[in-house]
Amino acid sequence: MEATNIPGARAAGRALLPLAFALLAACAQFEESGLPGSASSMAQDQMMLVRREPSTFGYYRLTSLTRIYPDLAFFVDQRGIPDFLAETGSRDQDYYILYYLKKREAYVCRTRPGRNRIIEFAGPYPVTESEYRTLDAFRNKETR
Q: Does residue 13 form part of some domain?
A: no
Q: Does residue 12 form part of some domain?
A: no
Q: Does residue 30 form part of some domain?
A: no
CA distance 107 to 99: 7
Q: Does residue 10 form part of some domain?
A: no
- Our count of domains for the chain comes to 1
The pLDDT tens digits along the chain (144 residues) read 545 555 554 554 455 444 444 444 444 444 454 444 444 444 466 789 999 998 999 999 999 999 999 999 999 999 999 999 999 988 889 999 999 999 999 999 999 877 778 999 999 999 999 999 999 998 888 665
Range of the domain at 114: 39-143
CA distance 41 to 106: 23
Q: Does residue 64 form part of some domain?
A: yes
Using H for helix, E for strand and C for coil, what is the string for 60-77? HHHHHHHHHCHHHHHHHH
CA distance 93 to 71: 17
Q: Does residue 52 form part of some domain?
A: yes
CA distance 121 to 107: 7
The region, left, alpha or beta by phi > 0 then psi within -120 to 50, assigned to residue 19 is alpha
Q: Does residue 31 form part of some domain?
A: no
Q: Does residue 77 form part of some domain?
A: yes
